[in-house]
Amino acid sequence: MRLLIWGASPLGGWLAARLYQAQHEVIWLADTPLPIPLTGGLELVSGQSRQKINGLRILTEPQDALKPLPEWVIFAMPAWGLSRALTTLAMTAAPEKLPHALSLQPGMGSLEKLTSLLGAEKSLRAVVTREFTWT
Protein backbone atom coordinates (compact mmCIF):
# COMPACT_ATOMS: atom_id res chain seq x y z
CA MET A 1 0.00 0.00 0.00
CA ARG A 2 1.36 3.43 -0.95
CA LEU A 3 0.98 5.89 1.94
CA LEU A 4 1.71 9.59 2.20
CA ILE A 5 2.21 11.04 5.67
CA TRP A 6 1.71 14.78 5.25
CA GLY A 7 3.07 17.03 7.98
CA ALA A 8 6.43 18.07 9.41
CA SER A 9 5.40 17.18 12.94
CA PRO A 10 6.88 14.75 15.46
CA LEU A 11 3.71 12.66 15.04
CA GLY A 12 4.17 12.66 11.26
CA GLY A 13 7.77 11.48 11.55
CA TRP A 14 6.93 8.79 14.09
CA LEU A 15 4.00 7.48 12.07
CA ALA A 16 5.96 7.49 8.79
CA ALA A 17 8.83 5.62 10.45
CA ARG A 18 6.57 2.99 12.05
CA LEU A 19 4.67 2.35 8.82
CA TYR A 20 7.97 2.13 6.93
CA GLN A 21 9.22 -0.42 9.47
CA ALA A 22 6.04 -2.42 8.80
CA GLN A 23 7.10 -2.70 5.13
CA HIS A 24 4.62 -0.20 3.68
CA GLU A 25 5.61 2.07 0.81
CA VAL A 26 5.75 5.37 2.72
CA ILE A 27 6.63 8.93 1.83
CA TRP A 28 6.87 11.52 4.57
CA LEU A 29 6.01 14.97 3.23
CA ALA A 30 7.66 17.55 5.47
CA ASP A 31 6.41 20.61 3.59
CA THR A 32 7.38 23.05 6.33
CA PRO A 33 10.90 23.33 7.78
CA LEU A 34 11.81 20.75 10.40
CA PRO A 35 13.36 22.04 13.64
CA ILE A 36 16.22 19.53 13.29
CA PRO A 37 18.15 18.31 10.24
CA LEU A 38 17.51 14.72 9.20
CA THR A 39 20.69 14.24 7.21
CA GLY A 40 21.64 11.18 9.25
CA GLY A 41 18.19 9.58 9.13
CA LEU A 42 15.40 9.57 11.64
CA GLU A 43 15.83 8.24 15.16
CA LEU A 44 12.84 7.14 17.21
CA VAL A 45 13.30 7.49 20.96
CA SER A 46 10.90 5.99 23.48
CA GLY A 47 12.09 5.76 27.07
CA GLN A 48 15.47 4.03 26.93
CA SER A 49 14.84 2.57 23.46
CA ARG A 50 16.44 4.18 20.38
CA GLN A 51 15.81 3.03 16.83
CA LYS A 52 17.56 4.45 13.77
CA ILE A 53 15.37 4.57 10.65
CA ASN A 54 17.21 4.67 7.34
CA GLY A 55 15.72 4.59 3.86
CA LEU A 56 12.49 6.44 4.59
CA ARG A 57 11.72 8.84 1.73
CA ILE A 58 11.33 12.38 3.03
CA LEU A 59 10.14 14.98 0.53
CA THR A 60 9.51 18.70 0.91
CA GLU A 61 7.38 19.46 -2.16
CA PRO A 62 3.74 18.32 -2.30
CA GLN A 63 3.85 18.03 -6.10
CA ASP A 64 6.66 15.45 -5.84
CA ALA A 65 4.91 13.47 -3.11
CA LEU A 66 1.58 13.32 -4.97
CA LYS A 67 2.90 11.77 -8.21
CA PRO A 68 1.71 9.12 -8.47
CA LEU A 69 -1.19 9.57 -6.10
CA PRO A 70 -0.95 7.47 -2.94
CA GLU A 71 -3.73 5.13 -1.89
CA TRP A 72 -4.00 6.92 1.47
CA VAL A 73 -2.97 10.34 2.76
CA ILE A 74 -2.58 10.74 6.51
CA PHE A 75 -2.61 14.39 7.58
CA ALA A 76 -0.35 14.78 10.63
CA MET A 77 0.04 18.54 10.78
CA PRO A 78 -1.39 21.30 12.96
CA ALA A 79 -5.06 21.99 12.24
CA TRP A 80 -4.23 25.37 10.69
CA GLY A 81 -2.34 23.62 7.86
CA LEU A 82 -5.10 21.24 6.80
CA SER A 83 -7.00 23.65 4.51
CA ARG A 84 -3.85 24.49 2.56
CA ALA A 85 -2.95 20.81 2.22
CA LEU A 86 -6.45 19.89 1.05
CA THR A 87 -6.40 22.66 -1.55
CA THR A 88 -3.10 21.32 -2.87
CA LEU A 89 -4.47 17.76 -2.92
CA ALA A 90 -7.65 18.88 -4.72
CA MET A 91 -5.60 20.36 -7.56
CA THR A 92 -3.85 17.04 -8.33
CA ALA A 93 -6.71 14.96 -9.74
CA ALA A 94 -10.42 14.72 -10.37
CA PRO A 95 -12.40 14.23 -7.14
CA GLU A 96 -13.23 10.60 -7.92
CA LYS A 97 -9.51 9.77 -8.31
CA LEU A 98 -8.36 11.34 -5.04
CA PRO A 99 -7.07 8.97 -2.34
CA HIS A 100 -8.63 8.06 0.98
CA ALA A 101 -7.56 10.31 3.85
CA LEU A 102 -7.15 10.20 7.61
CA SER A 103 -6.99 13.39 9.65
CA LEU A 104 -5.04 13.37 12.92
CA GLN A 105 -5.68 17.02 13.81
CA PRO A 106 -7.10 17.85 17.22
CA GLY A 107 -10.05 20.17 17.44
CA MET A 108 -13.19 20.58 15.44
CA GLY A 109 -13.71 20.89 11.72
CA SER A 110 -11.06 18.59 10.27
CA LEU A 111 -13.45 15.79 9.34
CA GLU A 112 -15.83 18.27 7.74
CA LYS A 113 -12.97 19.66 5.63
CA LEU A 114 -12.04 16.15 4.46
CA THR A 115 -15.59 15.12 3.62
CA SER A 116 -16.25 18.33 1.69
CA LEU A 117 -13.44 17.35 -0.71
CA LEU A 118 -13.40 13.55 -0.62
CA GLY A 119 -16.85 12.52 0.55
CA ALA A 120 -17.68 10.53 3.67
CA GLU A 121 -16.67 7.20 2.14
CA LYS A 122 -13.03 8.32 1.77
CA SER A 123 -12.64 10.34 4.98
CA LEU A 124 -11.63 9.33 8.50
CA ARG A 125 -10.61 11.23 11.61
CA ALA A 126 -8.76 9.99 14.66
CA VAL A 127 -7.74 11.64 17.90
CA VAL A 128 -4.17 11.10 19.07
CA THR A 129 -3.56 11.40 22.80
CA ARG A 130 0.10 10.43 22.95
CA GLU A 131 2.58 13.29 23.11
CA PHE A 132 5.29 13.44 20.44
CA THR A 133 8.22 15.87 20.61
CA TRP A 134 11.44 16.65 18.80
CA THR A 135 14.64 15.80 20.68
Return per-residue pLDDT of the chain as tens, 135 residues: 899 999 988 889 999 999 999 999 999 998 877 766 666 678 888 788 888 888 899 998 999 999 999 999 999 988 888 999 999 999 999 989 999 999 998 777 888 999 999 999 999 888 776 666 665
By the 8 A CB rule, do 104 and 80 touch?
no
Q: Look at residue 5 and give its three-state secondary structure.
A: strand
Query: Sheet of 72-75: strands edge to edge?
Result: 57-59, 25-29, 2-6, 72-75, 100-103, 123-125
Q: Report yes or no: 65 and 89 within 8 Å, Cβ to Cβ.
A: no
CATH numbers and ranges of domains, the chain? 2-125 (3.40.50.720)
Alpha helices, DSSP H, located in the chain: 10-21, 62-65, 82-90, 110-118
